Chains A and B, each alone.
Chain A
Amino acid sequence: DAGVIQSPRHEVTEMGQEVTLRCKPISGHNSLFWYRQTMMRGLELLIYFNNNVPIDDSGMPEDRFSAKMPNASFSTLKIQPSEPRDSAVYFCASSLGLAGGNNEQFFGPGTRLTVL
């Protein structure tokens, strides 16, 4: 298996532009997570899905952020409009079963976003 795939790996954009990050989870996994990592705030859970349904989006910072999972093999995280404070590394992770419990999360390589 190729693992969790994220694209793009790097994104540089200007303030106000729309940014879309993409994730392909491991086949057969039914939970998907989006995280943001910064030096100041560490690793933050933004949202997670189970069986393509958003379960907890309490970590989404504001309405400029949205996430979708149209099918079991694809998810997007969109920021519109982007701001410099959104600069971070965004990780997608997937796991078997429900979120939590003893299920291991498998992380993608991340997308490094820079908003100028």
Chain B
Amino acid sequence: AQSVTQLGSHVSVSEGALVLLRCNYSSSVPPYLFWYVQYPNQGLQLLLKYTTGATLVKGINGFEAEFKKSETSFHLTKPSAHMSDAAEYFCAVSELGQKVTFGTGTKLQVIP
């Protein structure tokens, strides 16, 4: 069965610092992997997704994630945090024919 684990429910970074949000997955077949972002009082929106091919995936707002099969990880990074990046981030995994499983979310705080 597929599952996803997000390490750290809260992460704080200084403005301009590297953002690293961790996600590990479990899947019996090659997975599809997603990162969604939720701004306060809004629904989730897709940041990026991995399907097949290139393991480094670029998304919106300068975020990117790298699929590492050997580590079963799909960590989200951004070189320089902006105040506007403060939000909750959800990692998700899916297999063909299966519904998407979301992680428990990581709240990112950006300190000025």
A residues apposed to B, CB below 8 Å = 4, 42-43, 45, 48, 56, 91, 93, 98-102, 104-110
Chain B CB within 10 A, most for which of A48, A100, A104, A108: A100
B residues apposed to A, CB below 8 Å = 32, 34, 41-46, 49, 51, 90, 94-100, 102, 104-105
Q: Give the docked Cα–Cα distance between A99 and B100 (Å).
A: 7
Are B105 and A45 interface neighbours, CB within 8 A? no
Are A107 and B44 interface neighbours, CB within 8 A? yes
Residue of A at shortest CB range from B98? A100
Are B95 and A109 interface neighbours, CB within 8 A? no
Residue of B at shortest CB range from A45? B99
24 interchain pairs, CB-CB under 8 A: A42-B104, A42-B105, A43-B102, A45-B99, A45-B100, A45-B102, A91-B44, A93-B43, A99-B99, A99-B100, A100-B94, A100-B97, A100-B98, A100-B99, A100-B100, A101-B32, A101-B94, A101-B97, A104-B49, A105-B44, A105-B100, A107-B43, A109-B43, A110-B43
A-B contact count (CB 8 A): 55
- Minimum C-beta distance from A4 to chain B (A): 7
If the complex has contacts A43-B102, A109-B42, are A101 and B90 also in contact, measured as CB distance less than 8 A? no
Residue of A at shortest CB range from B94? A100
Q: Give the docked Cα–Cα distance between A8 and B28 (Å).
A: 40
17 new A-B contacts, CB < 8 A, other than A101-B94, A101-B97, are A4-B43, A43-B44, A43-B90, A43-B102, A45-B100, A45-B102, A48-B99, A91-B43, A100-B97, A101-B96, A104-B49, A105-B46, A105-B100, A106-B45, A109-B43, A110-B41, A110-B43
